[in-house]
Amino acid sequence: MSGLLLRYSPFILGAALSSVLLHILILLVLPLVAPRTSGQLLADRAVLGDRAGQSALSVLAVSRPGAQAYPFADPAMVTALCAFDLTEGPFRIRTSTGEAFLSLAVLSPAGRVLHALSDKAATRRMLDVVLVTEQQQRALEAQDPEDEAVQELRLRMTAPKGTVLLRTFAPRPSDIAAARELLGRAECRTLQDG
């Protein structure tokens, strides 16, 4: 028995080793190639922030059976999204907040949450976020006036592209219209460089 085991041990070891290797490979590749990642589902509907300074935001229909923003979407949340590309310049997201819970999430192209903040981070009922690369951050800081505090929150991104997701709570069907209007007024735009 032990002789047999010894004779086949290289193969058993090889099979185990290749199992583990394949497992790690699938795990790392899956988020990038999954057929319906939230990132892809959302990117299909996001409009790229326009360089002309116009807001490019789409407010999605509230999720209901047969028409969801993404799997496991909360039907009590109104969702708006826009795409960004920092190679064009820093990207600003501004929204006023209401009484109801509101959140802003920055997603990678694969749908991973890179940054998220809720309306608790708002100042004077306004969430003002600028996504920047390291270089853009330095350029903006060089322009900052020395005697006043910067109002916006600057988030440094390691990759240039992704999606911004704005969500606000609309607990009753009668709250949906106001929530859509609130998010519809939000701003998503590329700032001019320099």
**153/95 Cα distance (integer angstroms):** 13
Residue 105 or 139 with smaller CB distance to other proteins: 105
Residue 36 or 125 with smaller CB distance to other proteins: 36
For the beta sheet containing 187-190, the strands, ordered from the edge strand earlier in sequence to the opposite edge, are: 153-156, 126-132, 91-96, 187-190
Residue 112 or 144 with smaller CB distance to other proteins: 112
Min separation Cβ 58 and other proteins, Å: 16
Assess contact for 47 and 58: CB atoms under 8 A: yes
**178/172 Cα distance (integer angstroms):** 11
Among 175, 161, 176, smallest CA distance to 60 is for 176
Min separation Cβ 51 and other proteins, Å: 27
**160/93 Cα distance (integer angstroms):** 15
Min separation Cβ 59 and other proteins, Å: 16
Residue 179 or 191 with smaller CB distance to other proteins: 179
Q: Which residues bind other proteins (CB under 8 A)?
A: 11, 14-23, 25-28, 30-31, 34, 36-38, 41-42, 63-66, 68, 70-76, 100-101, 103, 105, 107, 110-118, 120-121, 165, 169, 171-172, 175
Among 115, 112, 105, 116, smallest CA distance to 34 is for 112
Min separation Cβ 27 and other proteins, Å: 5
**161/113 Cα distance (integer angstroms):** 13
Assess contact for 110 and 28: CB atoms under 8 A: no
Residue 88 or 96 with smaller CB distance to other proteins: 96
Min separation Cβ 181 and other proteins, Å: 18
